[in-house]
Amino acid sequence: MTRGFYNRLAWTGIQKNRQLYYPYFLSGIVMVMVFYIFHFLATSEVVHNLPGKAVLPYLFYIGEGAVGLFSIPFLFYTNSSLIRKRKKELGLYNILGMNKRNIFSVLFRETLISYGIVVTVGIFAGFLFSKAAELVLVNIMGRQAGYRIYVDWKGAFVVLVVFAVIYLMILANALWQIHANDPIELLHSDMQGERPPKSRMLLTVLSLVLIGAGYGASAAVTAVEYQLAQIFVTAVLLITGTFLLFICAFVVLCRVLQKNRAYYYQTSHFVTISTMAYRMKRSGASLAAICVLVTLVLVACSFSVSFYAGSMEVLQRTYPYDLSVRVEIPVEKIGNELTKGTCTAGYRSGIDTIIGSVLTDSGQDAGQGGVRQADGCAVHFANMLAMLVDGRLDLARDMRDTWFTPGSGLYPGWTEGNEEIVWLHVLSLEAYNRLCRTTETLGEDEVFVILENGEYRSDRIVLNDSGAGVNVNPAAKAVPAITDVSISLDDGRAKDDRITAHGCRNVFLVVRDLYDFMGGVEGSAAYAQKNYMAYDWEYYWNLSAPEEALYAVYDQVEAHIRTGADKTACYLRLERGENYYALAGAVLFIAVVMDLVFVAVTALIMYYKQISEGYEDQRRFSIMRKVGMTGKEIRASINSQMLTVFALPLLVAGVHLIFTSNIVYMMQKMVVADNKPLMIRVMVVTYLLFAAVYSLVYVMTSRTYYRIVNRASGSRYCGGNGS
């Protein structure tokens, strides 16, 4: 047999099975395209000039790797549906005298053709959409982009290699499947009498136990960053449980219903229940895969959207001022510093001079964008860790005796039993009034306590082991929440200078006199030991100026404060925010692209499902008609079956989402801010949106099903709306 003959055979093989082959091409093309786009973005000059240049390429490489990895099971799945359908045809070739080597060479050519089409079209589509993706990304970050269009040849090469490997694996798998069968088996492989689904009670119970355990594990997560293992376990439990649930539990349910004769032997239940058991057996794994994908999409979407939406808020809370400077004051110098400003006067005058100079400059050419207005405020804080016991602040606790160990990096969470570790900021009433522009007053031995996200419920705070303490001014509930105006919310030294909130609550304690309250130098030294206390001088500026001017001021101020010998830090909100947006924007972008891929995958699985279901049901429904079922009855039965089968993954995913929302919440709390209502809103909207997309996909793919079912029977049973 000649070479041309095999080529023709391979080509007609594809043509004849185009109903299955085209979606297979499409899925490959989508994977190649996304892969190429991620690679393109990871190396794109534009991205390298975006604010988050340090982290963005890294994220895109991760995304690229994820797409590459994910396309393996995905393309295997689509290919195996194809192989199953084609076994008969290949068996026939075998019987007609082609040996297995000939068949291998036909399959090899088919794979080669598939690979060629997929990478060519995929890279081309990737090239077309890469620019669009770049523009979207740049837009998410609120930046401008150039319009230079170019092909990323290196990216294309990487695609060629990676997908060559994937398709080789697919070919090997196909050959293995063919090899494992003898020709007669191949010939009959699509018409073996199907065994009735077994009722596997034990596995069903196991599936429920696994899912329950998964939910439990998810609810127990309190600090995401230290419990990655637990989250992983949750995912494994839920995925295994979901697969078992779909494969076994619904069959068991059908079987139980069948045992109930009064229920089972009713016109509307009889056919539906017994067919359903088979359908669930056949589709269980696919439906479970859909369910897991849907859950993934929902979790990823909820998290990334709330991350992006919440980032603005975080930025504002973390850096309420345009520019802020922090200088750490050694404990022994605090007395003089508080009265005379001995440590910080130099910094202060230097900064004032710098800002003053730009102010004057701008006065002359305001058009070029100098600083138009400046507004500064300096405050002393004593920052330390403290314990809330049953909601009462206890400064007497030695924090070294608790589960908190600085630098160990392993905190199981900030709450244990009735105790909660908080990040306490003590400041004087005078500073408080200046910061909040208020005129509050405090009596002798009185304080205000202001909690982030909550109300201080006790009327006292404890100061020493004998239980002595001071009263909380009852007006504390009404004073302005300093959390809205003060810096140093999330920049505790306990965790260096990370922009992530670490989940430890901030508490502000307003006292009449900071020095007195801290017990002078002696008391301060004790706090420094017991509570990791440190004094800070913080100097805030609000500057209304264009970006370049702000950066210029920032550079000068930073250079200036570095001249001193003290531990200092300087933040520009703009600069921090850009990194932040870059991160949030990139996460959102990647999540959205991945979600689109997942949705495409879901749609494809559904499509294949509908086709194979259609062929299976064709005969069944024509028999039912012959036995005397009316078109209406058949239609009702089909519709209820199809709807149940495809609504189940969505419903189960919804339940999963509800019970795993704690993880999303904790992740949000860690990375963004504690904003449960936002998260819930995002989740609900995401779910509804996804349900709409999912239904659309269902309606579109079910047309194929109805067409197949109707074709053989000669009469129309169904058509979605029953026309």
Partner 1 sequence: MSILEVRSLKKVYTTRFGANQVTALRNVNFRVEEGEYVAVMGESGSGKTTLLNILAALDRPTSGAVLLNGRNLAEITEDQIAQFRRENLGFVFQDFNLLDTFTLEDNIYLPLVLANTPYTQMHEKLLPIARMLGIADLLKKYPYEVSGGQKQRAAVARALITEPHLILADEPTGALDSRASDELLRLFASVNQMGQTIVMVTHSTAAASRANRILFIKDGEVFHQIYRGEDSDDKLYEKISSTLTILMAGGGHR
Chain residues in the site for partner 1 (CB under 8 A): 193-196, 261-262, 265-267, 270-271, 274-275, 277-278, 620, 623-633, 715
| Nearer Cβ to partner 1 (96/627) | 627
CB 628, min distance to partner 1, A: 3
Q: Could you tell me the CA-to-CA distances from 538 to 47, 381, 483, 492, 680 in Å, in that order?
A: 35, 8, 15, 13, 36
Q: Could you tell me the CA-to-CA distances from 544 to 325, 373, 380, 501, 553 in Å, in that order?
A: 17, 5, 24, 27, 12
CB 270, min distance to partner 1, A: 5
What is the rounded distance in angstroms from the CA atom of residue 332 to the CA atom of residue 505? 28
CA triplet 339, 484, 479: central angle to 5 degrees?
70
3-state secondary structure of 327: strand
| Nearer Cβ to partner 1 (340/711) | 711
Contact 233, 677 (CB under 8 A): no
Both tokens assigned to 691: 């349900």
Contact 31, 65 (CB under 8 A): no
| Nearer Cβ to partner 1 (280/294) | 280
| Nearer Cβ to partner 1 (14/624) | 624
CB 265, min distance to partner 1, A: 5
Over the Cα atoms of the chain, what is R_g?
33
Q: Could you tell me the CA-to-CA distances from 36 to 323, 336, 655 in Å, in that order?
A: 40, 63, 35
| Nearer Cβ to partner 1 (361/633) | 633
CB 12, min distance to partner 1, A: 19
Q: Which of 202, 30, 42 is nearest to 137 (CA)?
A: 42
Both tokens assigned to 56: 């963005």
CB 580, min distance to partner 1, A: 57
- Give the DSSP H or E segment for 326: strand 323-329
Q: Is 628 exposed, middle or buried (0-12, 13-18, 19+ CB in 10 A)?
A: exposed
CB 291, min distance to partner 1, A: 24
CB 269, min distance to partner 1, A: 9
| Nearer Cβ to partner 1 (62/623) | 623
Both tokens assigned to 696: 């659309």
Q: Which of 541, 534, 597 is nearest to 566 (CA)?
A: 534
Residue 147 phi/psi, 5-degree rounding, is: -120, 25
CB 281, min distance to partner 1, A: 10
| Nearer Cβ to partner 1 (268/316) | 268
The single-letter code of the amino acid at 175 is L
CB 621, min distance to partner 1, A: 10
| Nearer Cβ to partner 1 (100/620) | 620
Both tokens assigned to 108: 């090899």
Q: What is the 3-state secondary structure (H, E, C) of 215-249?
A: HHHHHCCCCHHHCHHHHHHHHHHHHHHHHHHHHHH
| Nearer Cβ to partner 1 (187/277) | 277
| Nearer Cβ to partner 1 (623/689) | 623
CB count, 10 Å around CB of 667? Answer: 20
CB 277, min distance to partner 1, A: 7
